[in-house]
């Protein structure tokens, strides 16, 4: 199921609800012009699944996956010019295991692995 952000609300525990029930599905966030700015997936009101954000020019800003509110797997972030800005890898437990960053011209500025 996909709903618009204005058709949802957060409870005191920060869970997203739709029609008084914890929401499972995608919530669409739009800007004032009606362009999709983000698609956020939820399970029982908690962010879980693919998460994607776009800049106002509709180019991709961020994408990744969460499981019960924790980043897992590959996450990417782009500069406004469309070049990749960062690629991070998270373990199934949400620990960052690697991060690579690039400047707006595409030059690698960081390549770091993290150990537990």
Q: How confident is the model at residue 115 (pLDDT cuts 50, 70, 90)?
A: confident
The per-type count for the chain, helices as H runs and strands as E runs, is: 0, 12
With DSSP H G I counted as helix, E B as strand and the rest as coil, what are the percentages for the chain, rounded to 5?
Answer: 5, 60, 35
pLDDT (tens digit per residue) in 24-38: 999 999 999 999 999
Instruction: Name the pairing type of β-strands 2-4 and 25-30.
Output: parallel
Mean pLDDT value of segment 43-61? 96
* Structure token digits, residue 72: 């897992």
CA 5 – CA 22 distance, rounded (Å): 14
pLDDT (tens digit per residue) in 67-92: 999 999 999 999 999 999 999 999 99
The answer to whether 94 and 78 are in contact (CB under 8 A) is: no
Domain annotation for the chain: domains and CATH numbers: 2-113 (2.20.110)
Asked if pLDDT for residue 116 goes beyond 70, the answer is: no
What pLDDT is stored for residue 7 in this prediction? 97
What pLDDT is stored for residue 84 in this prediction? 98
What pLDDT is stored for residue 90 in this prediction? 97
Mean pLDDT of the chain: 96
């Amino acid at each position: 199921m996909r709903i618009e952000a204005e058709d949802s609300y957060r409870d005191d525990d920060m869970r997203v609800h739709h029609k008084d029930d914890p929401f499972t599905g995608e919530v669409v966030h739009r800007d004032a012009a009606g362009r999709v700015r983000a698609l956020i997936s939820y399970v029982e009101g908690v962010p879980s699944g693919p998460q994607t954000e776009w800049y106002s020019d509709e180019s991709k800003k961020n994408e990744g996956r969460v499981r019960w509110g924790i980043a897992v797997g590959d996450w990417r972030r782009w500069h406004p010019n469309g070049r990749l800005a960062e690629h991070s890898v998270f373990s199934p437990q949400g620990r960052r295991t690697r991060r690579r960053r690039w400047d707006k011209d595409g030059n690698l500025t960081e390549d770091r692995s993290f150990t537990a």
